[in-house]
Structure 1
Amino acid sequence: MEKKPNRLIKEKSPYLRQHAYNPVDWYPWGEEAFKKAKEEDKPIFLSIGYSTCHWCHVMEKESFEDPEIAEILNNYFVPIKVDREERPDVDAFYMSVCQAMTGTGGWPLTIIMTPDKEPFFAGTYIPKEGMFGRPGLRDLLLTIRELWEKDRTKILNTAKHLVKALQEASRETQKAQIGEETIHRAFSELFSSYDEHFGGFGSAPKFPTPHNLMFLGRYYYRYKREQALKMIEKTLTNMRMGGIYDHVGFGFHRYSTDREWILPHFEKMLYDQAMLLFAYTEGYQLLKKDLFKQTVYEIVDFLKRDMLSPEGAFYSAWDADSEGEEGKFYTWSFEELKEVLDPEELELAVKVFNLSQEGNYLEEATKVKTGRNVLYIGKSYEELAKELGISEKELKEKLERIRKKLFEAREKRVKPLRDEKILTDWNGLTIAALSYAGKVFGEKEWIDLAKGAADFVLKNMRTENGLLLHRYMEGEAKYWGFLEDYAYFIWGLMELYEATLDSKYLEEVIKLQEIQIKHFWDKENGGFFQTPDFFTEIPVRKKEVYDGAIPSGNSVSAYNLIRLGRLISRSEYEKYGTKTLEAFSWEIANFPSAHTFSIIALDLIVNGTKELVIVPTDDSWRNLKAQLDKEYLPDLLILKKDKVIEKLSENLEQMKPVEGKTTYYLCRNYTCESPQIQSDKVLERIKGKGKG
């Protein structure tokens, strides 16, 4: 019998569409669902996940495709499905509910709430049947149905008490002193959680957290602590050689399930590629390791080949699962390897990539070998070449031939789902990373890719009055932009300006920054809310500063505002950046290493910046710019005077060419040195000192 679709079939989100043929009568988040819940006096069953989430797939197969569960949900609840990547506001609020009620969080996120959106139950993945004294979904739903009918007062009191507590918590602000000592404590905390054997921080599961490495680079730049450099080198090297890296098709998987970076969780997210592109580019600038440069080029190859939409923006993610199995697309049985490689190549692949007949890939839940292999390299190319008695160049050439063969064979497999949503925030990170890497490596094509994505967002993901929209899919831009959309996209445009010195991008930065301040700024306590002031769908307007897998919207906003204020000499912007850090000073001071991107912003205030203003009369400045682009100078901002920039910046009028030649004004913390027409002297002055 042919399955009938539910109303999710009309949605654009790949995650919602995955559930369109469930027997559950799903609603998307919206007025229709809440109206039905009120009219029929039913609680709401809210399930939040995303298209590349492995346990979301498991819960769907076990429960949401099950007729018995569907019947219970359809009769006694109003079921709502939410894609957390489309609605990060809904996800953030109800995730804070889950963490408050259970002490943990994750996806799929399961919430049961009143028709007024007030939650009274929260959990994550729940199996259909109970085990070891924990109720399964079936029993839980039936118990809640009974309570709803017989003891509703208790449920409503729980819900109201919880929402009130979260509202009060969102208004509470404690302040603490933050300064240079906070920067040193961030380093000390990272040092104490650093894994000296395998790189990275903490134990399994291990996430890349590239912003930690970006902080360590700046810490080395300012304070010359060699240990910071060693931590960067080991972590970047071990991740690149580990199974978390896709040695066949490039790009990084989501995280490692073990501390050695060997066995990954296989989904590939756009934001990870962007942030790691930044980390490896800066790693190369600091350490000049060819491996890091190679990794940068390979990440860009992956982005161009597998993440770039025909319109020029970037898709969101690749699933971990294919053919109903996690990692099937990325792993290899020995038989498959034999079919693709000749005996000599297979022998080399076994040695280099740690392959075996019984397989090295363990089933996560049971830790049983699956007969499949993840490719990972446990040693440096130099060590391997020595062991094999060949040159490093010859080894790399042989491995590239093997890689190409494996890639061609793998392309014939059933591919995981690609989530083709275009998200403003994640594209912002990618624009920032491509602009920065393109500048450092002199790759104009990468800067053009960044331009293409930026121009797409500016043209297709804005309202007539300039407000950003969050998601674009199949010709439709939808959902008001959230804080991260503004913060990350402004960062992207600022990096694009620094790469091109094209003033139109700086103009857009200022327009968007003004909108962000107007609609997101907390006038009472400082800092930015996640949602704009005209948006009232969620019971609590949240403010976040914790840097998780990627930096928070507030930490990136502080960084943007401090840089922008100093770049165009508009102190009001820097004040907003400083006040943002002050608003979250208690959180930052109490756990600096969980706020490393805020510390990156703080460093600009504590240790200063250098601002170079170019007043051109010809194109001779380009040579100096190209030299500066290669250097690791995280405290340098460059502005090129033109008619547009003159209107944006307040103190450029007196900066004029000397002797009719291109002239350079080097300023530190709003104080400028005498004008200079010799570019080599400017280069010398800029490279002279880490502390501004």
Structure 2
Amino acid sequence: MSTEQSIHWLDWGDEAFQRSLSEEKPVLLALTATWCHWCHVMDQTSYSHPEVISLVDSRFVPVRVDVDQRPDLSHRYNQGGFPSVAVLDHQGELITGRIYTPPEEMVQFLEQVSSRYPETGEADGHPGDEATPVPAAAPSAGEPGSEVTSVLQRMEEMYDATYGGFGYEPKQPPWDGVGLLLARYGHTRDRNLLRMATTTLDGIQVGLYDRNDEGFFRYSVSRDWKVPHYEKMLCTNASLAVTYLDAYQLTGRRAYRKAGLGAIKYMQSILFDQPAGLFYAS
């Protein structure tokens, strides 16, 4: 594909955000990885679609980041899997985002976001020019702040009541989201939060847990978790080991204990380099 027919990506840095401010355009951040199958699919489909290219180059400041080179940006802006698409204002604040999106949906998404900017972000003025906000009342002990409440509401909207998890295929194991649900259940004893967490954990264990060699596969190509992408990552297994053992402590379900310990066993036996004292990433 020629340069004229592709998105003109920038590196993460001051240039991109200065352009966002001066041109009053949001930043479109693409989080990708060389090992990510769906990242390559999105490059070959959505990011190669003429209308997507036109919209991105005319209405956004496009920035592309390899998550292995910038794990800090991956941690901050990951939308639940890879590829992640995050829309930011000129100060780097997240406006909205999503994971893999096919071309037709991507066109709609780009049109909707760009038509509402800067109302959706904070593009007016310069950093430090904003009026001093009135401090919100501190939540009482055990009560979540407004940010946590907003996240929980969004999770309920995206929750897949049939198979667990959030959104549709491809489906990434949402260990941070499940951890939040478990933590809030510990405070509130809200059975709905526990149901969301356990349905998700049950689906992941059925579809992504390797019963032969133990450990978890990276993600599912299908909504029901049963078509895994056959790759095992250190970050996936470390995060899910913690999540499943936390769930075991909260619920007493032995299946969660077995899964958590199995993930640890896999990391120690397969991913750990004894002479070097280091773990392989995958």
Provide the TM-score with structure 1 as the length reference.
0.24
In 1, the alpha carbon distance for the partners of 2:85 and 2:256 equals 41
Q: Please give the residue correspondences for 1:17-166 in structure 2 after superposition, counting only pairs within 5 Å.
A: 49-54=32-37, 83-88=66-71, 99=87
Classify the secondary structure of the residue corresponding to 1:201: coil
TM-aligned CA distance change 1:125 to 1:169, over 3 Å: farther
In 2, the alpha carbon distance for the partners of 1:198 and 1:306 equals 30
Q: Please give the residue correspondences for 1:77-476 in structure 2 after superposition, counting only pairs within 5 Å.
A: 83-88=66-71, 99=87, 177=136, 179=139, 180=143, 182=146, 183=148, 186-242=151-207, 244-310=208-274, 311-317=276-282
In 2, the alpha carbon distance for the partners of 1:281 and 1:55 equals 29
Aligned-pair identity (%): 28
* 2:178–2:197 contact (8 Å) kept in structure 1: yes
Residue by residue, what CA displacement relative to the aligned partner does 1:119-172 show, whole Å, maximum 9, x if unpaired?
A: xxxxx999xxxxxxx9xxxxxxxxxxxxxxxxxxxxxxxxxxxxxx98977767
In 1, the alpha carbon distance for the partners of 2:85 and 2:220 equals 27
Residue by residue, what CA displacement relative to the aligned partner does 1:314-368 show, whole Å, maximum 9, x if unpaired?
A: 2223xxxxxxxxxxxxxxxxxxxxxxxxxxxxxxxxxxxxxxxxxxxxxxxxxxx
- TM-fit CA distance, 1:173: 6.7
Classify the secondary structure of the residue corresponding to 2:248: helix
- TM-fit CA distance, 1:240: 0.2
- TM-fit CA distance, 1:253: 2.4
Structure 1 residues not aligned, in runs of 5+: 1-28, 30-46, 62-80, 108-123, 127-133, 135-164, 318-692
Aligned residue number for residue 54 of structure 2 = none
Provide the TM-score with structure 2 as the length reference.
0.54
In 2, the alpha carbon distance for the partners of 1:194 and 1:284 equals 22
Letter of the structure 2 residue corresponding to residue 52 of structure 1: W
Classify the secondary structure of the residue corresponding to 2:68: coil
- TM-fit CA distance, 1:59: 9.7
TM-aligned CA distance change 1:172 to 1:255, over 3 Å: farther
- TM-fit CA distance, 1:224: 1.7
User: What is the root-mean-square deviation in Å for CA atoms of aligned residues?
Assistant: 4.4
Letter of the structure 1 residue corresponding to residue 256 of structure 2: F
In 1, the alpha carbon distance for the partners of 2:123 and 2:150 equals 30
* 2:84–2:97 contact (8 Å) kept in structure 1: no
In 2, the alpha carbon distance for the partners of 1:208 and 1:57 equals 20
TM-aligned CA distance change 1:173 to 1:292, over 3 Å: farther
TM-aligned CA distance change 1:247 to 1:171, over 3 Å: farther
Residue by residue, what CA displacement relative to the aligned partner does 1:640-668 show, whole Å, maximum 9, x if unpaired?
A: xxxxxxxxxxxxxxxxxxxxxxxxxxxxx
- TM-fit CA distance, 1:285: 0.5
Aligned residue number for residue 21 of structure 1 = none
Residue by residue, what CA displacement relative to the aligned partner does 1:215-256 show, whole Å, maximum 9, x if unpaired?
A: 2222222122122222222211121011x2333322222222
Classify the secondary structure of the residue corresponding to 1:268: coil
In 1, the alpha carbon distance for the partners of 2:150 and 2:73 equals 34
In 2, the alpha carbon distance for the partners of 1:82 and 1:250 equals 32
* 1:99–1:105 contact (8 Å) kept in structure 2: no
In 1, the alpha carbon distance for the partners of 2:157 and 2:65 equals 39
TM-aligned CA distance change 1:234 to 1:89, over 3 Å: closer
Letter of the structure 1 residue corresponding to residue 173 of structure 2: P
- TM-fit CA distance, 1:295: 0.3
**Rg comparison, structure with higher value:** 1
* 1:204–1:256 contact (8 Å) kept in structure 2: yes
In 2, the alpha carbon distance for the partners of 1:312 and 1:48 equals 30
TM-aligned CA distance change 1:247 to 1:222, over 3 Å: same
* 2:85–2:98 contact (8 Å) kept in structure 1: no
- TM-fit CA distance, 1:291: 0.8
Letter of the structure 1 residue corresponding to residue 202 of structure 2: T
Letter of the structure 2 residue corresponding to residue 270 of structure 1: L
In 2, the alpha carbon distance for the partners of 1:186 and 1:89 equals 21
Aligned residue number for residue 116 of structure 1 = none
Classify the secondary structure of the residue corresponding to 1:246: coil
- TM-fit CA distance, 1:90: 8.3
TM-aligned CA distance change 1:173 to 1:196, over 3 Å: farther
Classify the secondary structure of the residue corresponding to 1:253: coil
* 2:163–2:224 contact (8 Å) kept in structure 1: yes
In 1, the alpha carbon distance for the partners of 2:195 and 2:73 equals 40
